[in-house]
Amino acid sequence: MCGICGIANRDGNVEMETLRQMAERIVHRGPDDEGFYLGSGVGFGFRRLSIIDVAGGHQPMSDEDGSIWVVFNGEIYNYKWLRRELVERGHRFRTDTDTEVLVHLYEEEGPDLVGRLRGMFAFAIWDEPRRTLLLARDHFGIKPLYYTLTPEGLVFASEIKSLLAAPGIEARVKPESLWNYLTFQYVPDPETMFEGIKKLPPAHRLIWRDGEVKLGRYWQATFEPEDRPLPVFVDEVREVLRESVRAHMNSDVPRGAFLSSGVDSSTIVALLKELEQVKTFTVGFEGAGGMSEIEYARETARILGTDHRDVVISADRYAEVLPDLAYYQDEPVADPSAIALYFVAELASSDVAVVLSGEGADELFGGYTIYREPLSLRMFHFLPDGVRRGLGEWARGLPSGMKGRGFLLRGSRLLSDRFVGNANIFSDNEKRAFVKWTPDGGFAGVKVVTEPLYERFADMDEVTQMQLVDIHTWLPGDILMKADKMTMANSLELRVPFLDVRVFDVARRIPTSLRLLEGTTKYVLREAVRDILPEAVSRRKKLGFPVPTRRWLRDELYDWARERLSDKSVDQYFDREWLLARLEDHRLGRGDYARKLWTVLMFLLWHDIYISGHVAVQPTVRSGVLRRRERLFGQGAAQGQGLKSCTP
């Protein structure tokens, strides 16, 4: 895993110093090596985290005559099979890397090469004879890739902070993105919080030539349920997961796994343990009480026999690292568990360079509790639309908090109106009460994100529609974004065996009735791992590295939150008094406003770093990572070009 950046211009050359500055901003993504390519009107920069073919994997990499160049971030799990095929076609290889496979596969298939890849990836290929730039991102959006169009051409990078090092790219808030962020707790693809900067969406490729851009989807996630017995699906899921974990183990450096309390990460660890001894890592927080993962994870590690480490984080330490969190995320993501990932990645990065984790299981196999809601609301489906609307109007007149009122309100609404993904922080009406900018009639708001998905999947049942909305929004925008940014902040490669095209090909065939059976989420997955996990683990409710922000905002973090919300800079975007009133209500227990307050606070902290510049954070390589490099590559490895050290 690495960090990539580059520029393609219609006219004029690219300055080497610009590439160096862009690469320096992402040094944490690749502390082991750097490399550059300069051509006519094009330049690539690269920071490497050495995982496969440690000695031979220098990038940028080219074909034999230097006409095709690539910079690549990620792992291709079927690269050895593709390499054998390419050798049979007459291609000659100089390294044992998956990067070189991309070069020769492009020579054979052009931009269609993405359809042959199994893995996580974000890459750029420069085709000098055709003067064409190809950008591509993996099927689920595991690896990030950002770009912006300039008067001269196109600039791309693994992280936005790298783009901002290029001349002429300004950091300005996009109001529409802020509006949507306040609902989703992240900015959905393809937008970012920055005006003019976009994400390349998952399963998309972009072709740039002489200033013209063609953006297209190369793969579509969808479900096609099959009528087959439960035991058939159980066996298929177990075997495809075994094969996926085996494929995701490929590396020439030490690896481990994150371990929480639930079935997802425990499944990955158990399957790894069938093949080798495993180092596992967990994080907990002071004040988490019954929501702590620590004891559950320790018990699972003891049963599975792993080499386990964990760390408990205080509220003070949490607050101390928040500026780093906001900086490394590039744009605000108001998921408190992001910093849990930061701390567990910091813990693991001293020992291993690669970790496997359980992200994606909930979206593929039906794991979120909210997915059960359509089953409880089935009675409303038989009512005419007019009756449903009338029932909703009547329910709105009932006293707030009255038993059954919320059930009637949700049942009276269409799925597309009530479900915009796993996070639904502020409604449009709530935003109008305190946000200074409000959309005009031409801006569709959150509907612009979800309506096309509901239209595309209109013929599917509601549970499947919810899963597909999450796969296309929540999964890349929140789950995978924080997973990549928080691990790479600690120079650690994260791999997610559930998010594999072969695993998805099995999951998409499971009927809804088996995904959620007898009120149990992820039923087929739980049955598939019954023989390799204790029942207490396979049936345990998901926690997902919980963080006690609700309590901390009443106690340990209250003063910090009040000070930030009281600053006059808040007035540029929000009604200060409205926010301070919500904070006081939360402190006094008159309501639970933790998620709403946290969403605003994370935007303000991000703004302090990237827009106003009131808070300064610099990219660094953690001291634990430098010690790991010395163990792997010998004394003096930490003194490599462009490296900075800091003490966590």
Q: What are phi and psi of 37, to 5 degrees?
A: -130, 130
403 pLDDT band, cuts 50/70/90, is confident
- Fold type of domain 230-367+474-544: Rossmann fold (3.40.50)
Binding residues for L-glutamine: 98
Q: What is the DSSP letter of 299?
A: H
Strands 146-149 and 153-157: antiparallel
Q: What are phi and psi of 188, to 5 degrees?
A: -65, 150
In single-letter form, the type of residue at position 603 comes to F
| Beta bridge partners of residue 204, listed in sequence order | 217
251 pLDDT band, cuts 50/70/90, is confident
Calpha distance 351→594 (Å, rounded): 35
| Beta bridge partners of residue 280, listed in sequence order | 257, 308
Q: Which of 1, 2, 68, 597 is catalytic?
A: 2
Binding residues: 98, 283, 357-358
Q: Say what the pLDDT of residue 642 is.
A: 41
Calpha distance 405→391 (Å, rounded): 10
Q: Say what the pLDDT of residue 1 is.
A: 64
pLDDT, one tens digit per residue, over 27-73 is 999 888 899 999 999 999 999 876 655 666 688 999 989 999 999 99
What angle (nearest 5°) sits at the alpha carbon of residue 199, between those of residues 151 and 544? 160
Q: Say what the pLDDT of residue 638 is.
A: 44
pLDDT (average), residues 151-177: 97
Catalytic status, residue 2: yes
Residues 6+ apart with CB under 8 A from 623: 645, 646, 647, 648
Q: Say what the pLDDT of residue 514 is.
A: 97
Q: Say what the pLDDT of residue 461 is.
A: 96
2-179+191-217 in CATH: which number? 3.60.20.10
Q: Say what the pLDDT of residue 53 is.
A: 56
Residue-wise burial string across 342-381, b where 16 or more C-beta atoms lie within 10 A, e elsewhere? bbbbbbbbbbbbbbbbbbbbbbbbbbbeebebbeebeebe
Calpha distance 513→230 (Å, rounded): 10
Listed by start position, the domains of the chain span 2-179+191-217, 230-367+474-544, 380-419, 553-617, 618-648
Cα dihedral 445, 450, 455, 456 sign:
positive
Q: Say what the pLDDT of residue 542 is.
A: 63
pTM attached to this predicted model:
0.93
291/326: higher pLDDT: 326
Residue 562: how many CB atoms within 10 A of its CB?
Answer: 15
646 pLDDT more than 60: no
